[in-house]
């Protein structure tokens, strides 16, 4: 279903004369890694090595790849423009080879007059078709431009909805094209507007409101639980595209200003096992904010985002809840 544009990748490898190339794959593509290597080996003189640690986004760029290879190829993600990488790094984007069928007709009665269009990387090619359809139906269709963490107009990351934010005041709600709830939730939490998901794989249209409200109730519970916390462990990511040391320092200053204790912890992978040994009443996560939001059930103690810490410590009102955007 996905197009990997392997011809362009082979031309890049051969053009640069790379003989050892390291490959990173997102979890959903790892089962195809060996087939992709077979195809690349047939068409180039290079040899390939899989870097098999989890790779959730471009933010997960392997920082030690030059110990194993001359070049690095990461599949499934677009580059993060604000993240500096060498010329020996290439991102191979995947675009879905799929149409929208009658899903736009199904979505039409659920949309307002002014619609913002969003998609995840794999489905960006479907945005022009959706815009043309909506305009033919007399609706306004706009596609926003995000900050420097976002590569393409209309693109949403799980940690960055700025392409939605840029047009939020000009639309009644958003139509998001993609699978699952992960990216759509960033738009729903971040923009505060209604987000309708058009899922070309499941062939369904669904509203994000109930899911967003359920998660917000969970976040309220975590914040309330952390209000009286005395000891906080503030997590900083070791990953290049998630590292927010400045935000961690701000969080620690805030915690200490309230007479509480704070410890800074650097982790590559955040997991219950990695936190087991630390005494903490609550964690503050300055890495991928979705660890706090989507994985909250894995942790016995509250795992707050930065704005959630501000609410817990009385520096921000619950009514002013904001999504923790990693800015570009
Ligand atoms: S920080 Fe999280 S949501 Fe953002 S790109 Fe990385 S894995 Fe995805």
Q: How far is the CA of 204 from the centre of ligand 1 (A)?
A: 25
DSSP element (H, E) containing 3:
strand 2-3
Q: Residues 100-121: what's their mean pLDDT? A: 97
Q: Residues 209-221: what's their mean pLDDT? A: 97
Question: Would you state the pLDDT for residue 5?
Answer: 84
Say if residue 65's pLDDT is above 70: yes
The CATH superfamily of 103-207 is Diphthamide synthesis DPH1/DPH2 domain 2 (3.40.50.11850)
Q: How far is the CA of 56 from the centre of ligand 1 (A)?
A: 7
Please tell me the residue having the least CA distance from ligand 1 atom 2: 288
pLDDT tens, residue by residue, 222-250: 999 999 999 999 999 999 999 999 999 99
User: Which long-range contacts does 106-111 make (Cβ < 8 Å, 24+ apart)?
Assistant: 106/205, 107/175, 107/196, 107/198, 107/205, 108/134, 108/137, 110/196, 110/205, 110/207, 111/139, 111/172, 111/173, 111/175, 111/196
Domain 216-320 sits in CATH at 3.40.50.11860
Alpha helix (H) ranges present in the chain? 6-16, 33-43, 103-107, 127-136, 162-165, 182-191, 209-226, 245-257, 272-275, 289-294, 306-312
Where exactly does CATH 3.40.50.11850 map onto the chain? 103-207
For residue 219, give the nearest of 297, 281, 326, 279 by alpha carbon: 297
Which of 163, 241, 267 gets mutated to test ligand 1 (max ligand atoms within 8 A of its CB)? 241
Q: Residues 205-215: what's their mean pLDDT? A: 97
Which of 93, 159, 241, 323 gets mutated to test ligand 1 (max ligand atoms within 8 A of its CB)? 159
Where exactly does CATH 3.40.50.11860 map onto the chain? 216-320
Interatomic CA distance for residues 215 and 290, integer angstroms:
11
Question: Would you state the pLDDT for residue 2?
Answer: 74
Q: Residues 77-98: what's their mean pLDDT? A: 95
Question: Would you state the pLDDT for residue 191?
Answer: 96
Q: Residues 103-125: what's their mean pLDDT? A: 97
Residue 176's DSSP bridge partners are: 118, 197
Say if residue 1's pLDDT is above 80: no
Where exactly does CATH 3.40.50.11840 map onto the chain? 2-94
pLDDT above 90 as % of the chain: 98
Look over the chain and give the mean of its residue pLDDT values, rounded to a whole number: 97
pLDDT tens, residue by residue, 130-143: 999 999 999 999 99
Give yes or no for residue 94 CB within 6 A of ligand 1: no
Please tell me the residue having the least CA distance from ligand 1 atom 4: 159
Give yes or no for residue 323 CB within 6 A of ligand 1: no
Question: Would you state the pLDDT for residue 3?
Answer: 76
Determine contact, residues 175/120, Cβ cutoff 8 Å. Answer: no
Give yes or no for residue 242 CB within 6 A of ligand 1: yes
- DSSP, collapsed to helix, strand or coil, labels residue 46 as coil
User: 2-94 adopts what CATH topology?
Assistant: Rossmann fold (3.40.50)
Work out the angle at residue 319's Cα, subtended by the Cα atoms of residues 316 and 320, and round it to the nearest 5 degrees: 50
Interatomic CA distance for residues 5 and 137, integer angstroms:
34
pTM of the model: 0.95
Please tell me the residue having the least CA distance from ligand 1 atom 1: 288
Say if residue 4's pLDDT is above 90: no
Neighbours of 283 (CB within 10 A): 23
- DSSP, collapsed to helix, strand or coil, labels residue 282 as strand
Interatomic CA distance for residues 264 and 284, integer angstroms:
9
Q: How far is the CA of 304 from the centre of ligand 1 (A)?
A: 16
Which of 160, 287, 326 gets mutated to test ligand 1 (max ligand atoms within 8 A of its CB)? 326
């Amino acid at each position: 279903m996905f197009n990997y544009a392997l011809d362009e990748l082979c031309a890049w490898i051969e053009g640069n004369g790379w003989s050892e190339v390291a490959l990173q794959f997102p979890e959903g593509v790892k089962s195809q890694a060996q087939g992709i290597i077979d195809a690349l080996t047939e068409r180039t003189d290079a040899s390939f090595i899989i870097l098999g640690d989890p790779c959730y986004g471009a933010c997960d760029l392997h920082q030690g790849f030059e110990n194993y290879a001359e070049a690095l190829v990461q599949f499934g993600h677009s580059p993060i423009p604000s993240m500096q990488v060498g010329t020996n790094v290439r991102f191979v984007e995947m675009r879905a080879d799929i149409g929208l069928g009658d899903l736009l007709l199904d979505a039409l009665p659920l949309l307002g007059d002014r619609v913002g269009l969003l998609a995840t990387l794999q489905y960006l090619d479907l945005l022009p078709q959706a815009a043309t359809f909506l305009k033919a139906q007399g609706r306004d269709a706009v596609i926003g431009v995000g900050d420097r963490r976002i590569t393409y107009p209309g693109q949403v990351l799980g940690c960055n909805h700025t392409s939605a934010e840029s047009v939020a005041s000009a639309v009644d709600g958003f139509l998001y094209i993609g699978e699952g709830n992960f990216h759509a939730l960033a738009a729903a939490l971040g923009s505060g507007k209604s987000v309708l998901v058009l899922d070309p794989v499941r062939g369904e249209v669904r509203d994000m409101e109930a899911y967003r409200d359920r998660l917000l109730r969970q976040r309220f519970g975590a914040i309330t639980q952390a209000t009286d916390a005395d000891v906080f462990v503030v997590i900083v990511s070791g990953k290049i595209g998630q590292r927010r040391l400045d935000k961690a320092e701000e969080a620690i200053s805030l915690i200490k200003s309230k007479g509480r204790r704070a410890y800074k912890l650097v982790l590559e992978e955040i997991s219950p096992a990695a936190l087991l040994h630390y005494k903490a009443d609550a964690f503050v996560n300055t890495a991928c904010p979705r660890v706090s939001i989507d994985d909250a059930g894995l942790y016995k103690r509250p795992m707050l985002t930065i704005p959630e810490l501000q609410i817990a410590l009385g520096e921000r009102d619950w009514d002013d809840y904001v999504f923790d955007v990693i800015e570009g």
